[in-house]
Structure 1
């Protein structure tokens, strides 16, 4: 990822979140409801983005999905409390943070195939 793209970030709980119009709980210009409070670390660039559309707009490369054997990797950030969840924790969380109980967007399940090779 080029330096130009890397400058477009917001610090959320001390972690850089790259994207478009990112707020302090990881909401972005694409997804900004009260429950859109997670960011996903992409394996292709080891950087967090609120969504696949932010990755597409801000990065300079195609997104790569997490493989089936990487579910123990901490790749999800709760924008409410800052906990980094493993992919397994996130996928089995019932759309709520296991630390602070903040609700996640249940609609994100429709996009899992963009992030995870399940």
Structure 2
């Protein structure tokens, strides 16, 4: 697992736990890596606001690589680890926003 300190999270008004201007509730503590630029963003709206290219989801053939960051404990999660339990960090047990699952197709290829 990698710590958030090892990665920069891009976006609009990103706080230390990865909340942003678009999603800032208690459980909005997850940053996801985009396949197009390999950068972490709190949400697809942040990507649209600060990136100069169209978004691409994280590729299925790279699901064994870190593609999500827990904003609570800083753990780096592979796409497979995150998708196995998308509402809870498998490292610290902290809750993620359950509504994020409705947007998995924006972040993960083939979901």
Return the TM-score normalized by structure 2: 0.90
Partners of 1:114 and 1:47 lie apart in 2 by 14
1:87 aligns with one of 74, 79, 102: 79
Root mean square deviation, CA, Å: 1.2
1:4-24, Cα deviation, whole Å (9 max, x unpaired) = xxxxxxxx5342111011000
**Cα offsets for 1:70-111 (capped at 9, x unmatched):** 221211000111100000110111511111111001100110
Aligned residues: 107
Q: Flag the structure with more relative contact order, 1 or 2, with Cα contacts below 8 A and sequence separation at least 6.
A: 2
Take 2:66 and 2:102, find their aligned partners in 1: how far apart are those partners? 21
In structure 2, stretches of 5+ residues that fail to align are none
Following TM superposition, the consecutive aligned residue runs of length 4 or more in structure 1 with deviations greater than 6 angstroms are none
Q: Which has the higher strand share?
A: 1
What TM-score do the two structures reach when normalised by structure 1?
Answer: 0.85
Gaps of 5+ in 1: 1-11
